[in-house]
Amino acid sequence: MAEIKVDNLQKAFGDFVAVKNSTFTIQDGEFFCLLGPSGCGKTTTLRMIAGLELPTSGCIFLDGEDVSLKRAAQRDIAFVFQLFALYPHMSVRQNIGFPLKSQGMGRAEIRERVAQAAQILQIPHLLNRSVSGLSSGDRQRVALGRAIVRQPKAFLMDEPLGALDTEFRHVMTGELRALHDRLKSTTIYVTHDQLEAMAMADKIAVMNGGLIEQLDTPRNIYDKPASLFVADFIGSPPMNFLSFHGNVEKGAEKVRVEGGEIGVPRIHESLGEGEFILGVRPEHVQFADGGALRGVVFGVEYLGTTQIVTMTTPHGTLRARAPADFILSIGERLSLALKPEKLSLFDKASGRAIS
């Protein structure tokens, strides 16, 4: 078990800074996701923690010990790669036991540890099979077996489900989280898939251009995005952004705009008079007579249990989630209400959340 602390970590490749002054702590036993688009620095961060890449500056602490300059093999961390290079000519048992054999562990102990790992992953019946004939799910389990058999202090995983089809990914995210709940080992999981991160993580760090934009629980990241980038990256369909001109004052719970007021969560930064963005999730748009906003239906996407209604408004396009039985026609004019406590307010210039 391990607490992992990263202090002012930076990585440059020549002039290009891939990871910028990253500071965060992963609690012992936490499932921590590094989430962000391609090229934002997730893998580089993970490789530095694993010891596969040296930081340009900054430190990494494993249970309080500075391991920044230690080689990967000395860190007692298991790295699970995306492409599982199982040895095709070996049995499942030999594949899982391989890391222990390389460490020079005795046969009896290897047998016992492999049996334990197989039990945890519910694959004891496969131990004597060859890996070449296994389904992709069972191959994933064997690869995980090879990681957990070492009983490392922490697991690092880089898009381990990247090669799987969507349906099977869904099954494996559930299994990975269940495995984590059984082993309770600190896990860092890299993904660009927000749904995967939301489903599994205790904490998510959303990265953008080498920087952590927000580090929080999945719920807070969804409900209280710290920036336009985070708000846009999380949620499907993503949060709507409506542009307004108005007066934004610290401490207020409404903003004055032309023709009225909009209720918002308490504002923590004054902008004075200027441009701001109102963020509203599709499920928080209400179809209500006398609502503050007018929309004209532009498109309807029927999803079975709900439908996504795209509307034009004077402040931008708005997508709303509506009940499946709500009958709408293209060109219809609607009155819309927005739940004040569910809104997010952003400074248009900086992109930062201000309420």
- Which strands form 186-191's sheet, in the order they lie side by side? 77-80, 154-158, 186-191, 31-35, 203-208, 211-216
CA geometry: angle at 234 spanning 213 and 50, to 5°? 55
Q: Using CA atoms, how far apart are residues 310 and 61, in angstroms rounded to an integer?
A: 48
Nearer to ligand ATP, 38 or 329 (CB): 38
User: C-beta of 292: minimal distance to ligand ATP in Å?
Assistant: 40
Nearer to ligand ATP, 45 or 344 (CB): 45
Nearer to ligand ATP, 18 or 267 (CB): 18
# binding residues, ligand ATP (CB under 6 A) = 11
246 binding ligand ATP? (CB under 6 A): no
**CA proximity to 68, closest of 47, 49, 41:** 49
Helix (H, G, I), strand (E, B) or coil at 186: strand
User: C-beta of 134: minimal distance to ligand ATP in Å?
Assistant: 27
User: C-beta of 201: minimal distance to ligand ATP in Å?
Assistant: 16
Nearer to ligand ATP, 18 or 277 (CB): 18
Residue 176's DSSP bridge partners are none
Nearer to ligand ATP, 204 or 322 (CB): 204
How many secondary structure helices (H) and strands (E) does the chain include? 8, 20
Q: Using CA atoms, how far apart are residues 151 and 326, in angstroms rounded to an integer?
A: 54
Of 5, 192, 203, 284, the residue at the interface with ligand ATP (CB under 6 A) is 192
b/e string for 49-74 if b means 16 or more Cβ within 10 A?
A: bbbebebeebebbbeeeebbeeeeee
User: C-beta of 215: minimal distance to ligand ATP in Å?
Assistant: 16
Binding track over 22-61 against ligand ATP, x by CB under 6 A: --------------x-xxxxxxx-----------------
For CA atoms 310, 312, 318, 324, the dihedral sign is negative
User: C-beta of 241: minimal distance to ligand ATP in Å?
Assistant: 24
Nearer to ligand ATP, 38 or 166 (CB): 38
Residues lying near ligand ATP in the complex (CB under 6 A): 13, 18, 36, 38-44, 192
